[in-house]
Structure 1
């Protein structure tokens, strides 16, 4: 971990979740679905955290609950040391400071609105700050998002832009309110490979120039390696491994993290093929929630502690910067550090 990252992660958390649960009612008498089933997570000022996991693991629901878009069933979310309020006025004030950037820029932009109107929308909802000219604010946001000269884009419509330009407009729409935190849900998944690097470089530049914090939701560990200071790996509603990007991606301890990393071209080993699908969140298994698909348990290597894997629950991991793993095999006596 770099000195810069070490300093960044030692600051008090800007965003903090403690014991977060989000449960949805089951359909037709089925048990409730535990989409987020106990999560602690901190994001420090100026820190980029990647939330990684398969589709359906709960990462988008967690991200939305951190923004106040989904109210937790239990647990707390705090921003800048204060608990998040769910009254309309409190949420409106919070959303000036924490903005969402969605995966599909085409779906995020109204095809009937010009670029200018798309970026100015947030200012109009929240009210232009005293002494701020709307036109100057929109131009500044577009320029920071890499659309220069910005006035050339004012009267364009989304269909007249490339995919990368549309994503920059979405980012500009978030930046125009001068937020302290951006939550980016799969921000480059719909873009061509040639454009993805540009958008990731933009997010890093915004962090360095503006001090922005970011939570980047992704299924791609390669993306996490290129952009994140810290990684939280999520499985079936809970974070199962967390730490600095260097520690988690070069020395993964959880078998699930190891399986996700094994499919990257640079891993150099044989891909780990997990059996079956992630369990239904309304029927989370006892013990380690990964045990039914665990390649270490299936191979017989963990036979001595199989009873613990199948029957003994694991604690919620700390939300801070320390490396931690929720795995009986990784934390057994004599396990490699």
Structure 2
């Protein structure tokens, strides 16, 4: 349904070029949920904005349903009926002066959809706000955090999209509400056949909701594959470090070095300055330390098999039998 092909996005930053996205291949299939994970500043949100057409790529292309994305206003308007965004902060993404009805009706009005009231009622109902008429005249401050997030989801559903891009969809919610919103996204996939790209730093969320996971570091996917395979047997040192912070992890991995700077991408493996394999001497013992610091790694493909970009291991590994 949605694909990034060799996507790159650069920005000017203090006289230098910041490579926020630096060669990404990623696909979201029909009815599939893909989790894009990584720490803050790795390029996840920039990639999501580019897939939505909010940023134009410096190189590469976005492809929807087999056709490259066009950037003329009419083409973008038609595209955004099919691909909708769900933001992480419902209070920030809802206008406090608009009622729930006005917030959900905004998209249908822009696109000239008929039967506006019925469209709004159906969207609220599908988002779990029932009876929908009870919420029409309420304002965001009168709702709970979970209800506000459901209104945001209803605003996306009002256009009957095929793909949702959810940027940290439960990050601002209480733990008791998070499960409800994740269950809603899974139900929408089952009932409507929706595809989704879920952007998150939370590997626990990825485990609970995704079919596949892509791990991003400093503008590039460093490991991807079926969620069970990647998260139960992570091969890239960065994925291992991310998983080590989960409560059930037997060992905490503390990364060395500074947080990544997209204006100063290191040679070789971009993770090597912070890599625990290099810091512990295992890379030197394996005879790959020079490769880690000087030999570029290939860009991962969008193949559904498990892939990893690390000098210590093979790039591609076979998927586990289902």
TM-score (norm 1): 0.92
The answer (yes or no) to whether the contact 1:49–1:215 under 8 Å persists in 2 is yes
Q: Find out whether 1:176 has 2:158 as its counterpart.
A: yes
Query: Equivalent of 1:312, from 272, 295, 312?
Result: 295
Is 1:197 paired with 2:179?
yes
The whole-number CA distance in structure 2 between the counterparts of 1:277 and 1:200 is 33
Report the CA distance between 1:18 and its aligned residue.
0.8
The answer on 1:154 being equivalent to 2:154 is: no
Write the distance in 1 (CA, Å) between the matches of 2:94 and 2:258: 34
Counterpart contact for 1:21–1:36, Cα < 8 Å: yes
Structure 1: runs of 5+ lacking an equivalent: 1-13
Q: Quote the residue 1:4 is aligned against.
A: none
Contact 2:52 2:83 survives alignment (8 Å): yes
Q: For 1:229-244, what aligned pairs fall within 5 Å after superposition? A: 229-244=211-226
How many residue pairs get matched?
A: 314
SS at match of 1:205: helix
CA distance in 2, matches of 1:108, 1:81: 31
Shift of 1:175: 0.1
For 1:17 and 1:190, locate their aligned partners in 2 and report how far apart those are by CA, in whole Å: 28
Cα distance, 1:322 vs structure 2: 1.0
Query: Could you list the runs of 4 or more consecutive aligned residues of structure 1 that deviate by over 6 angstroms after TM superposition?
Result: none
Equivalent pair of 1:181/1:212 in contact (CA under 8 Å): yes
Q: Do 1:98 and 1:183's aligned partners in 2 also have CA atoms closer than 8 Å?
A: yes
C-alpha contact 2:6 2:60 (8 A) present in aligned 1: yes
Is the 1:308–1:328 contact (alpha carbons within 8 Å) kept by the matching residues of 2? Answer: yes
Q: RMSD between aligned alpha carbons?
A: 1.0
TM-superposition CA deviations, 1:27-52 (whole Å, max 9, x none): 2x2x2000000000011000000000
Give, in whole Å, the separation in 1 of the partners of 2:258 and 2:94: 34
Separation (CA, whole Å) in 2 of partners of 1:251 and 1:215: 22
Q: Find out whether 1:281 has 2:262 as its counterpart.
A: yes
Mean Cα displacement is larger for which, 275-284 or 314-323? 275-284
1:280 CA displacement: 1.1
Could you tell me how far 1:270 is from its partner in structure 2?
A: 1.5
Distance in 2 separating the partners of 1:208 and 1:107: 29
1:1-337 correspondence to structure 2 within 5 Å: 14-27=1-14, 29=15, 31-128=16-113, 132-267=114-249, 269-303=250-284, 304-331=287-314
SS at match of 2:55: coil
